[in-house]
Structure formats: structure tokens, C-alpha cells
Amino acid sequence: MCLAIPGRIVDSENIGGSRVGNVEFGGIARKVYLDFVPEAVPGDYVIVHAGFAISLVDAEEAERTFALLEEMGALAEEGIDAS
């Protein structure tokens, strides 16, 4: 049961004891429960599964590791072995 996708928190409010956010997924907004990511604030990206945010995307880690992948892709294009 793993279908979870990243979305951006637009805003949040407290509803009935829970923190509920408006999360945007590429042009669609949905209400998402943010109780499992208390540190997340509007502007952050979260991974959402079945209406719940289960993690806060670590933007720095993501940038860092993706930069490595991009470099790999660029070097491969130039025909240089990146290992």
C-alpha cells in the first residue's frame, strides 16, 4: 500500500483537533492531514498517502542527491565515464 506522492503545503488550519493543510499536487489542491509532520510549514513539500502526510521532503538532501544524478546524466551525454 504505497501510493504516495509529493505535494506542496499552501496553508494549514486546525480542524477538530487535527492540523489540516491545503496541499497542491501539480495544479490540484486537496485537504491533507498534517499531524504526522508537525514541523512542516506552508511552502514545504510533503509526501502524501491516503490523505495523510507521512514525511516532510528534505529539500536539501533532495537537491544534493539529485545534483549528483544530473551530473551523471550530463557526463554520460558527453561520453565521459563518471565513475
User: CB of 12: closest distance to other proteins in angstroms?
Assistant: 15
- What totals of helices (H) and strands (E) does the chain contain, helices first? 1, 5
- The residue from 5, 11, 13, 41 that contacts other proteins (CB under 8 A) is 5
Nearest to 57 by CA among 3, 4, 21: 4
Cell, residue 79: 561520453
User: CB of 33: closest distance to other proteins in angstroms?
Assistant: 7
- The residue from 41, 42, 43, 65 that contacts other proteins (CB under 8 A) is 65
8 A C-beta contact, residue 56 and residue 48:
no
User: CB of 55: closest distance to other proteins in angstroms?
Assistant: 5
